[in-house]
Amino acid sequence: MAGKGAAPGTAVLLVTANVGSLFDDPENLQKNWLREFYQVVHTHKPHFMALHCQEFGGKNYEASMSHVDKFVKELLSSDAMKEYNRARVYLDENFKSQEHFTALGSFYFLHESLKNIYQFDFKAKKYKKVTGKEIYSDTLESTPMLEKEKFPQDYFPECKWSRKGFVRTRWCVADCAFDLVNIHLFHDASNLVAWETSPSVYSGIRHKALGYVLDRIIDQRFENVSYFVFGDFNFRLDSKSVVETLCTKATMQTVRAADTNEVVKLIFRESDNDRKVMLQLEKKLFDYFNQEVFRDNNGTALLEFDKELSVFKDRLYELDISFPPSYPYSEDAGQGRRYMNTRCPAWCDRVLMSPSARELILKSESEEKVVTYDHIGPNVCMGDHKPVFLAFRIAPGAGKPHAHVHKCCVVQ
């Protein structure tokens, strides 16, 4: 399948997917999700594929164990994946440890035509050839083929059971060494709090956590290589600016709790037009009267409010976004395009890269379009998040000048 009649080079597919919904309603959602995922694999025919999952196992991992096993087995043995004869699966199943559990799942698939692929052993500090299919779970901390960390509790003290963290692996494909980081950053706990300041307090928490990850993967413990960071960043639109723009001609009514005088609801009404309600805002309600604004032209009019990545403009790059906000979609299996009215739609799910990784991708861009950055299942219910993917090719010889640095070709 991979590479037949295609452009030269090594085809790579990187996918990020918050899959919590799939385990909360597996009967209705998993089949459609897998079908759409396999379609993207078939279209792009990658030699090397990475699938980074967040909230793997859903809200209650212990209750979902059988569904988790079934999902993993399906991915590893399905007809659609039969040409991928090597795989590595890393599942954080240590749900009994609040101190360590991240609910991250990382899948890596290697096509049978791909030769000489190596994975880095962080303990031995050398690359090892990848053979066969292996699954690692429970306590990933003892696995030398990855680095895993959960963010410190004090990063987000109001969320006692937060699972946010990251898992890092390192690979050498076609003489190119690169890190792949599966990441899940902190969410907005309250729409009302997010609306209070610009940027929001939650944006600052995510900024701190992402900075921690970037510092960690370029510290002095290991050789620095290109890196791709993809996962659920929980990046949100600047709430204050969005509300001011959507409700320019509106008047605001504040509703307070009778006992505490705390603000519990904001209602924005048109000044005229019978004072029609435009937006209602509560802790977990963002009910705007016209959802089309988030879908029209893939929501590009709202990209100016997507500001959280700008802090890292010298350290992280992203290709142009041309797909609608990836979250929060309805979890109704019959609704593929509708957003839930719990949060302001936003591009939470992203594939980001280091400056050198960007150069690697740009080298492979020829006259034909070989780089695609898009979402999966635009018209199908994929859960509350649409998966997002980056497909590209590593051009022949792109990594050769650096081959001696990471010694891909001379390890066991």
Q: Select from 239, 106, 242 the least CA-distant residue to 184.
A: 106
Structurally, how many domains does the chain consist of?
1
pLDDT reported for residue 2: 58
Domain, as residue range, for 14? 10-236+292-394
pLDDT reported for residue 271: 87
Q: Rounded CA gap, 269 and 278, in Å?
A: 5
Q: Rounded CA gap, 147 and 181, in Å?
A: 9
Please report whether residue 314 resides in a domain.
yes
Please report whether residue 261 resides in a domain.
no
pLDDT reported for residue 4: 46
Please report whether residue 286 resides in a domain.
no
Tell me which DSSP letter residue 327 carries.
B
Please report whether residue 87 resides in a domain.
yes
pLDDT reported for residue 273: 75
The kind and range of the H/E element at 240 are helix 239-246
Please report whether residue 280 resides in a domain.
no
Statement: the pTM of the whole predicted model exceeds 0.85: yes
pLDDT reported for residue 401: 52
pLDDT digits (tens, 9 = 90+) for 57-79: 998 888 888 899 999 999 999 99
Radius of gyration for the chain, computed over Cα atoms and rounded to the nearest angstrom:
22
3-state secondary structure of 112: coil
Reading the block at residue 40, the tokens are 């993207």
CATH of the domain at 209: 3.60.10.10
The kind and range of the H/E element at 363 are helix 355-364
The kind and range of the H/E element at 210 are helix 201-217
3-state secondary structure of 24: helix
Q: Which amino acid is at 109?
A: F
pLDDT digits (tens, 9 = 90+) for 82-112: 999 999 999 999 888 888 899 999 999 999 9
Please report whether residue 200 resides in a domain.
yes
Reading the block at residue 3, the tokens are 């590479």
pLDDT reported for residue 365: 60
Please report whether residue 212 resides in a domain.
yes
pLDDT reported for residue 400: 58
pLDDT reported for residue 307: 97
Please report whether residue 400 resides in a domain.
no
Q: Rounded CA gap, 186 and 234, in Å?
A: 6
Which regions in the chain score pLDDT beneath 50? Answer: 3-5, 367, 402-406, 409-412
What is the chain's length? 412
Using CB atoms within 10 A of its CB, is residue 359 exposed (0-12), middle (13-18) or buried (19+)? Answer: middle
